[in-house]
Structure 1
């Protein structure tokens, strides 16, 4: 009995939903039609590693030369790739064919690039690679872009990302480069990308400032943050003014994560309630040490009466010798009252650190019972409190 093509396709799609890769591979070997149905799932996500080709002891992560071989012999597979991540290695720049093959990728929706221009200045990256990277980043199909550990990335790369809704920059340094004509698109979209999720992590404040102040030839910004729903800012150094610059562009923000790493000065000037949308429902703050509690209270105080906050997450990264357990915690209990935050339904407090002694851990775990009595007794709020050791890498 021969099954109808639409039923066969539905069966293969169901196998993909169950992530049954062995079954999909078996189907691909059955017939040409089932091969067609299966490969769109088997090759929907391609993750390229950064393992030197001469050293396979580190694993069998696919390399760029394997992708080149695959797409050279089966170019139709390029249309199946919807998610593409590539951690670049020095040797990748030597591949003469890769830039040509990469330009055949036209349906990518989620793009992750790591190590771009990490080992050499962008100006020294071969032009063919510059053009290939610009092609990928500026694809109309790309809605999610993640850049990690990338150095000297020129701003013109971001000028034409017409349908980008998610942007994550992790340890990325941006530079103003107006003279790289090959990076400018032939036609700038009529409107900037309307980003709904933006994350800036471990980058320099200067790079964030360049991104926020960058303008297209028509004087419009590269990105429109008015529809931004989720914002995450994690940086070394002062980001107060930059946080304000970002927040004042938002109108629909529902989730905000902020952290200043390596600072014990508290959270001063990173919440900016005057720019926070009244739609904010989740606030996550990462702090260094517990001595910053007074600064935290002042920041939270500015939100009283101006929010519909439902969830508050506080993460304290501590050093045992600098950790304090005492009356300062009562300030948090006095701040998070129903009258101040009537919509609050969940408070999660996490304390993390290296080499936390058993005695200190016991003291920390006793904080809710001693200092957070009102918060713990509030039936409308779920209080989660944890103490854990971080693993040093």
Structure 2
């Protein structure tokens, strides 16, 4: 019997539907049917390559490199790449395989259509100058790809200021424990105009000079494009002031603000003033119920929320905040009456007239810092801890969330903002 040939358009439609389901098993099976199925299936299989999710990561990278060299057409399918170092426990020597990988420049050169790139060194910060010149050049070329929209960098020191400022042309930028090279004074770059298109910016443990440079780039490129700002503060002198200046000079169009302090230490927002942001619609906070917090988990959150009802706000009678998300950590020995007392300040501030557009309050319980039993007890008690908001008709919800999955969503698009 002669075989029936399906039209290429139909094959692509079938494979695309499977791709939407993220069914990698079926996609792999499709890639073995015929060449007509192989190429559409490969386009989905290699769209996102996460080499930070395999241990040892060095071996995962080596396999990927060999595959790219053997079949270079696959590189055109890769839209997202995540590179991560092995931890000291994984590789023992304490040396970075990323720094030592002589083939990495060629690998990066085989990815012409990359849209999102994550580079994570281990907890010991890697000096940018310790990376081989050829690899630094390849990274610089990657950062200039017209297709690139999002970059995430972790644990890097002495990062070149010019390269940092050039990254503000992207839509999404995430910096975690990144320190810029300050051998040249910041004033050298202040009067230069930088083309900034940033829509989403995440700063975690980032040095004040790094924040100041990004703020200068945003300020020199009106109209302002930044819509989402997520902050995990440091204890370095000047950090809050640097963030405050960034908000004043480049954050006038912010619609989402996230205050995500460490769950182990109490942090102050310092001079940061949300009252300067009249377009805020979405707010997200991290709180911890660790016993070390003598004043409870909410003083800083309440202070930030109160700025949106204070007289100095742009509109002292109302803001346009629609959604507030509170990520809760370290729930212990849940007691309903005690919970209601602890949450009363939140219930009080969010029911003030200025929050009349508030539609929902979402509480998310971390699965990594609280037991399932305590989370279950909290969920049962939750229906009584925000009585004013409940009476006002605000939609209240409590769910569980996983930090690993949440971290991967930090560079998601901002549709609807």
Equivalent residues of 2:360, 2:394 under 8 A apart? yes
Query: How do 1:1-393 residues align onto structure 2 when only pairs under 5 Å count?
Result: 1-49=4-52, 58=55, 63-88=60-85, 90-115=96-121, 120-161=126-167, 164-176=170-182, 192-213=195-216, 221=220, 226-237=224-235, 239-248=239-248, 249-261=250-262, 263-264=265-266, 267-270=269-272, 272-276=273-277, 278-287=278-287, 289=293, 290-291=295-296, 293-294=298-299, 296-304=301-309, 305-315=317-327, 317=329, 330-337=344-351, 339-349=353-363, 369=384, 372-378=386-392, 380-384=393-397
C-alpha displacement at 1:126, in angstroms? 0.9
Residue aligned with 1:194, SS: coil
Q: 1:61-120, CA deviations, whole angstroms, 9 ceiling, x for partnerless residues?
A: 853322221222222221111111111352343333331332222100111111189564
Stretches of structure 1 lacking an aligned partner (at least 5 in a row):
52-57, 180-189
Equivalent residues of 1:196, 1:225 under 8 A apart? no
Q: 1:323-355, CA deviations, whole angstroms, 9 ceiling, x for partnerless residues?
A: 986867544443222523111122245687968
Q: 1:293-331, CA deviations, whole angstroms, 9 ceiling, x for partnerless residues?
A: 45544433321224111122344656979x986867544
Query: Would you say how many aligned residue pairs link Structure 1 and Structure 2?
Result: 365
Could you say which structure has the higher helix fraction? 2
Equivalent residues of 1:28, 1:39 under 8 A apart? yes
Stretches of structure 2 lacking an aligned partner (at least 5 in a row):
87-95, 186-192, 310-316, 404-417
Task: Give the corresponding residue for 2:313.
Answer: none
Task: Give the corresponding residue for 1:187.
Answer: none
Give the superposed CA RMSD.
Answer: 4.1
Q: Aligned equivalents of 1:119 and 1:247: distance in 2?
A: 27
Q: 1:121-177, CA deviations, whole angstroms, 9 ceiling, x for partnerless residues?
A: 222221111111112222221111111233332222234348611111123222236
Task: Give the corresponding residue for 2:409.
Answer: none
Gap change, CA 1:104 and 1:118, over 3 Å in 2: farther
Equivalent residues of 1:231, 1:253 under 8 A apart? yes
Q: Aligned equivalents of 1:124 and 1:210: distance in 2?
A: 23
Q: Aligned equivalents of 1:110 and 1:293: distance in 2?
A: 35
Q: 1:27-69, CA deviations, whole angstroms, 9 ceiling, x for partnerless residues?
A: 3333333333332222222222487xxxxxx568853322221
- Normalised by the size of structure 2, how large is the TM-score? 0.72
Could you say which structure has the higher strand fraction? 1
